[in-house]
C-alpha cells in the first residue's frame, strides 16, 4: 500500500481532539478528511476509514474503494456485525491498560474506604474501611488490558485470578479458570471485574447462578461490554447485598 495513493476519512469533528492529534503528525502524500457526517463524495473517494466503531459501521457500506478500517476503540463489535468484509480491520491496542487500572483501583479504594459516607457526614466519624491488601480479585477476560489491571492490583497486595474460555493460565494471574468453571471462580472472590468483549459466548455470563456464589460484601465492576451482565439478575442480587456494590460503566442498552 503506497501512502500517496490513499485518502483517509476520519469520522471526527475537524476541530476536535482526534483531528488535532492527527494533524500534529506527518503523513506524506496521505490526505486526511475530517467529517462527523461524511458526504457521499467523500465516502466514494476514501480508501481508509478511522473513528469509533459504531460510527464506522454505519459508513463502510458507502465506501466502494475501502481497504482499511482502524477503530479508535479496543472493541470492534459493530464492525464485525455488519456484512461488508472486503477490508482490513484493526483495533487500538496497548494503550488502555493504565487508564483501566486507574479506573478499577480507584473505584475499589473509593468503596472500601467509604469515601462517599465520609463526604456526606456532617461531623467526623470513626472511619469504617477495609484494606485491599489480602483480598482476591477475579477478572473476566485475560487479555492485555486485564493483564495490566492484574499487575497494578498485585502491587497493592491483591491476589488476582482470571476467567477465560479454556482456563489456560496467563501471566500475571495466579490461576485462570474456564467459563465452565465460573461458579468455582466466583465462589472465592472479594472483587469481580468484567473486561469482556461483546460476543455470543459472553452474553449474560454474570447471571443469577454466578451472583449467588459471590460473597455478601463483594464488589462488582463491569468496564468491558454491557452484554455480559444479566441486569435483572444483578438488581435482584443487589437487593440482598450480593454483591454489596456494583459499578457499571456499560449497559446492554445505551443512548
> How do the domains of the chain map onto residue ranges?
3-90, 97-248
Give 227's DSSP letter: G
Could you please report the per-residue DSSP string of 43-97? HHH-SEEEE-HHHHHTTGGG-TT--EEEESSS--HHHHHSS--SSEEE---SSSH
pLDDT, tens digit, 9 for 90 and up, residues 79-121: 999 999 999 999 988 889 999 999 999 999 999 998 877 777 7
Cα four-point dihedral sign 23, 25, 28, 33: negative
8 A C-beta contact, residue 173 and residue 160: yes
d(CA 134, CA 187): 16
Which pLDDT value is given to residue 254?
83
Mean pLDDT of 44-52: 96
* Same topology between domain 3-90 and domain 97-248: yes
Which pLDDT value is given to residue 1?
43
Q: Which three cell numbers stand for residue 83?
A: 456484512
Q: Which position has the higher pLDDT, 29 or 150?
A: 150
User: 3-class SS at 249?
Assistant: coil
Percentage of the chain exceeding pLDDT 70 = 96
Which pLDDT value is given to residue 223?
97
Mean pLDDT of 51-67: 96
- Tell the CATH topology of 97-248: Rossmann fold (3.40.50)
Which pLDDT value is given to residue 4?
56
d(CA 182, CA 184): 5
CATH code: domain 3-90 is 3.40.50.720
Could you please report the per-residue DSSP string of 104-170? HHHHHHHHHTTHHHHHH-SS--------STT-EEEEE--SHHHHHHHHHHHTTT-EEEEEESB----
8 A C-beta contact, residue 144 and residue 166: no
Amino acid at each position: 500500500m503506497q501512502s500517496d495513493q490513499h485518502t483517509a476519512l476520519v469520522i471526527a469533528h475537524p476541530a476536535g481532539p482526534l483531528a488535532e492529534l492527527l494533524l500534529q503528525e506527518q503523513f506524506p502524500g496521505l490526505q486526511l478528511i475530517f467529517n462527523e457526517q461524511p458526504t457521499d463524495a467523500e465516502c466514494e473517494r476514501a480508501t481508509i476509514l478511522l473513528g469509533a466503531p459504531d460510527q464506522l459501521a454505519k459508513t463502510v457500506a458507502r465506501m466502494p474503494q475501502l481497504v482499511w478500517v482502524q477503530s479508535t476503540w479496543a472493541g470492534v463489535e459493530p464492525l464485525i456485525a455488519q456484512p461488508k468484509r472486503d477490508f482490513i480491520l484493526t483495533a487500538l491496542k496497548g494503550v488502555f491498560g493504565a487508564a483501566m487500572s486507574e479506573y478499577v483501583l480507584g473505584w475499589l479504594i473509593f468503596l472500601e474506604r467509604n469515601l462517599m459516607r465520609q463526604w456526606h457526614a456532617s461531623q467526623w466519624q470513626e472511619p469504617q474501611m477495609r484494606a485491599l491488601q489480602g483480598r482476591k480479585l477475579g477478572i473476566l477476560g485475560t487479555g492485555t488490558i486485564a493483564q495490566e489491571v492484574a499487575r497494578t492490583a498485585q502491587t497493592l497486595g491483591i491476589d488476582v485470578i482470571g476467567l477465560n474460555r479454556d482456563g489456560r493460565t496467563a501471566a500475571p494471574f495466579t490461576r485462570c479458570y474456564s467459563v465452565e468453571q465460573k461458579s468455582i471462580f466466583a465462589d472465592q472472590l472479594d472483587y469481580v471485574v468484567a473486561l469482556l468483549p461483546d460476543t455470543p459466548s459472553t452474553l449474560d455470563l454474570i447471571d443469577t447462578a454466578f451472583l449467588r456464589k459471590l460473597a455478601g460484601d463483594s464488589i462488582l465492576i463491569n468496564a468491558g461490554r454491557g452484554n455480559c451482565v444479566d441486569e435483572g439478575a444483578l438488581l435482584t442480587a443487589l437487593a440482598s447485598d450480593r454483591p454489596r456494590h456494583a459499578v457499571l460503566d456499560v449497559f446492554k442498552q445505551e443512548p
